Structure 1
Amino acid sequence: MSHLQLALKATNFDGNLSGPEAALAQIPKTCLLGRMVSDRHFGQGYVKNMMKKCWNCKGSFDVTGKGANIFVFQFANKEDKKRIVQRAPWFISNCHLVLKEWPPHLSWEHVDLGGLKPFFFPMLDHKVENLGKTCLWIQVHGLPLHHMNVVNAKLIGDSFAGLLDCQISTEKVLNPKSYIRMKIALWVDKPLLTGFDMLTDDLQKPWVRFKYELLPECFWYCGRLGHAINRCPFKGPSDRAPVYNIPEKDFGP
């Protein structure tokens, strides 16, 4: 017998609630929501101890586990929170920590941190659609010198989920190892892109390669974060990353 899921809706209530309690409404502004992108379990005590070493906060902060590797980080110092967001990405034990602002109009359950579907709440769907992202630094190798500019960095960033920062060194542009360094937004649970074929004036298609800095736990076969070779849930050919028999080192610098 198939499992049936019964949802009962209050038809005599229009969902219009009273205004927020002033003091409680300020709490999300002091918090960040976090998710460990891993199939391993992380306890809140371990997460706090590790991030305490990394963040070096001026004020105190608390960590509350919400289950399924989801955490709420509450900061006593607003500047600590701001600096931590700006300096992302962050990693614990070679696993990626996704950090998001907590929108005051949403419960933490309705924020999509990637990998977990927000609870079914149709009236909020349009407000959570852009929250399943994170960021990583990448290097773009193989571009001709005259294509190494911010405009092209923006175009490349759009092939992910957007460009957040870009560093182009004109002083070292003749270095054989010259590249564009970019901080890009990406969808947490989609395969990592490895590059693209660049169309040239003579219709050749040289390969332009992406190299990820400080790449966390990732299985190169499927190209996804959060698991290794012996724990990959994506076995079918259709679930593979858009690459062909590339070695694991091709994801990193």
Structure 2
Amino acid sequence: MVGIFIDKRLPFPLVKRILEKTWKTTASYEISTDDDLFYFKFSNDEDRKTVLEGEPIFVADRIFMIRQWSEELEYQRSLINTIPIWVKFSAVPKQLWTRRGISMIASRIGKPLSWDVATKNRQRLNFARVCVEVNVQCKYPKSLRFKLGGDRIATVGVEYPWTPPTCTVCKRFGHNTNKCPNRVNSV
């Protein structure tokens, strides 16, 4: 498997320490790295499957994406067009505080992937925190409006602790428009 940071790569010791705390594996695994990617070799197939299908990992508030290794992946890293991010929804109406309701709200941003524990267990009702897979063209709205029935309209606040650097020129993650290598500068 391969681990990839979309923006700036973090140091190996930090990544290794975070993964050791995050991944609860039954057997050992090896980590190696090059300039951009982290490579993982698991001795247990169940551990590998659990990690691959697990929730997105954030290391120092940067997304660390885990993918199955392939030859194309190393060369197509810049072609990734969806990425998971955490989104915080505030002022969620109580009638929408269900799995279906929170998923419906999150789907206005992207594809809902998972919830944090407090949201899942309804332990904190002043906001919901959902991991959402967004595409490169996401607009990151600050609020969403929902019709609740009759003429009642609810406004749900939306916050993003982190958004990926996104280029509107080449439609890729990893750099901003002003740093795009494909950008044509006017003289």
Using structure 2 for the length normalisation, give the TM-score: 0.63
| Structure whose alpha-carbon radius of gyration is higher | 1
Match of 1:63 in 2: 31
SS at match of 1:59: coil
1:43–1:65 Cα contact (<8 Å) kept = no
User: What corresponds to 2:44 in structure 1?
Assistant: 77
**Aligned residues of 1:194 and 1:210 also touching (Cα < 8 A):** yes
Q: 2:183 aligned with 1:183, yes or no?
A: no
List runs of 5+ in structure 2 lacking aligned partners: 167-174, 179-187
Asked if 1 retains the 8 angstrom alpha-carbon contact of 2:55 and 2:114, the reply is no
Letter in 1 for 2:113: L
CA distance in 1, matches of 2:140, 2:96: 23
Counterpart for residue 64 of structure 2? 97
Number of matched pairs:
167
Question: Where does residue 170 of structure 2 map in the other structure?
Answer: none
Q: Structure 1's 52 and 35: CA in aligned 2 closer, same or farther, altered over 3 A?
A: same
AA at the equivalent of 1:37: I
CA distance 1:56–1:165, change in 2 (3 Å): closer
Q: Could you say what secondary structure the match of 1:155 adopts?
A: helix
Q: Which has the higher strand share?
A: 2
Query: Match for 2:41: what amino acid?
Result: Q
Cα distance in 2, alignment partners of residues 164 and 46 from structure 1: 25
Aligned to 1:164: 113
For structure 1, list consecutive stretches of 5 or more residues without a partner in the other structure: 1-30, 118-130, 219-223, 236-253
Q: CA deviation at 1:99?
A: 1.5
Match in the other structure for 1:122: none
Contact 2:146/2:153 (<8 A) preserved: yes
Query: Which one of the candidate residues 74, 97, 119 is aligned to 1:109?
Result: 74
Matched, 1:37 2:6: yes
Percentage identity across paired residues of the two chains: 15
- Higher RCO, 1 or 2 (CA under 8 Å, sep at least 6)? 2
The whole-number CA distance in structure 1 between the counterparts of 2:97 and 2:5 is: 34
1:1-253 maps to which residues of 2 (within 5 A)?
31=1, 33-39=2-8, 41-44=9-12, 46-67=14-35, 69-102=36-69, 107-109=72-74, 111-112=76-77, 116-117=78-79, 132-165=81-114, 167=119, 169=121, 177-187=125-135, 190=138, 192-201=140-149, 203=151, 205-212=153-160, 215=161, 218=162, 224-225=163-164, 233-234=176-177
CA distance in 2, matches of 1:56, 1:155: 31
**Cα distance change, pair 57–139 in 1 and its aligned pair in 2 (3 A):** same
Distance 1:73 1:161, change over 3 A: farther
2:49 counterpart letter in structure 1: K
Match of 1:14 in 2: none
1:111 Cα deviation from its structure 2 partner: 5.0
Closer, same or farther: CA 147–93 of 1 in aligned 2, 3 Å: closer
* C-alpha distance in 2 between matches for 1:76 and 1:189: 38
**For 1:57, what is the secondary structure of its paired residue?**
coil
Aligned-pair distance for 1:196?
Answer: 0.8
Partners of 1:61 and 1:74 within 8 A in 2: yes
